[in-house]
């Protein structure tokens, strides 16, 4: 699992970083995490068009079916946030939901989408309008997948 800061990095540089960070991973996995990230940015495009600034820092890795990962984030009351998750495994189902530091679900809305003609992998989104400023957790999960390990990536935007 990595918190990778892609930061406008051209594709080859991004792959180079991933390669440096995980020398034991196969080239195939690098490509799929990278694809998951591309899909996550693609799925966040409608929110960008609605005025959300999409962070270039991103999280990603791979998970087994039903495994969950908690991603910590400092959120500020007064901002509106969308967290967007994606994978490149066709037919997989994934989810992301936001919880506060006491473990309460705080999604203002959420959605999950399967593979479509426009996008080859599944995606999911959760919106939060924090009631207070503090630490929140985006819980990402692979609900269903044909793969033992399913690559995923998560980005977020705010306005």
Partner 1 sequence: MKRISLLAPVASCVFLVLPVYADLAPKKITLSDFPAAAVEEVVIPVPSEIFAVLDKMGNPNWKGQLRSGKTPTPEDRARTALLLGNVIADGFVAVEAEDAERVKELGREVLTLADAINVRKSVITRCKSITDKADQRDWKGVRAEFDGVLQEVRSAMQELNDQDLSQLVSLGGWLRGTEVLTSIVQNGFSKDGAELLHQPELVNYFDRCIGSMHPRLRRNPLVSQIRESLRKIGPLISQGGDSITLEKVKLINSLTRDVDQQIDHGVQ
Q: How far is the CB of 62 from partner 1 (least distance, A)?
A: 13
Torsion angle in degrees (nearest 10) through CA of 114, 118, 120, 125? -50
Residue numbers at the binding site for partner 1 (CB under 8 A)? 1, 3, 5-9, 13, 16-17, 20, 53, 55-57, 59, 67-74, 76-79, 93, 95, 97, 99, 101, 103-105, 107, 110-114, 116-118, 132-135, 137, 139, 143, 158-159
The three-state secondary structure class of 11 is: helix
Instruction: Name the strand (E) or helix (H) holding 144.
Output: strand 134-144
Please report where in the chains the tokens 């409608």 appear, as a residue. Answer: 46
Please state the closest distance from residue 92 (CB atom) to partner 1, in A: 12
Instruction: Report the SS3 class of residue 159.
Output: coil
Tokens of 95: 């989810």
Paired tokens of 55: 């962070």
**Minimum gap (Å) between residue 118 Cβ and partner 1:** 8
User: Where do the H-state alpha helices sit in 22-96?
Assistant: 27-49
Which residue's CB is nearer to partner 1, number 29 or number 134?
134
- Report, in Å, the least distance between residue 20 CB and partner 1: 8
Nearer to partner 1, 22 or 79 (CB): 79
């Amino acid at each position: 699992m990595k918190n990778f800061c892609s930061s406008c990095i051209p594709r080859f540089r991004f792959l180079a970083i991933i390669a440096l960070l995980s020398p034991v991973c196969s080239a195939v996995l690098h490509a799929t995490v990278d694809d998951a990230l591309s899909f996550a940015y693609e799925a966040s495009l409608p929110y960008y068009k609605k005025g959300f600034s999409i962070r270039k820092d991103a999280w990603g890795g791979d998970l087994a079916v039903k495994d969950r990962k908690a991603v910590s984030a400092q959120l500020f009351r007064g901002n509106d946030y969308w967290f967007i998750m994606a994978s490149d495994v066709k037919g997989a189902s994934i989810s992301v939901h936001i919880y506060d530091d006491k473990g309460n679900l705080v999604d203002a809305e959420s959605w999950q989408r399967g593979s479509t003609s426009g996008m080859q992998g599944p995606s999911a989104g959760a919106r939060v309008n924090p009631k207070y400023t503090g630490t929140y957790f985006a819980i990402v999960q692979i609900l269903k997948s044909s793969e033992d390990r399913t690559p995923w990536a998560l980005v977020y935007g705010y306005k």
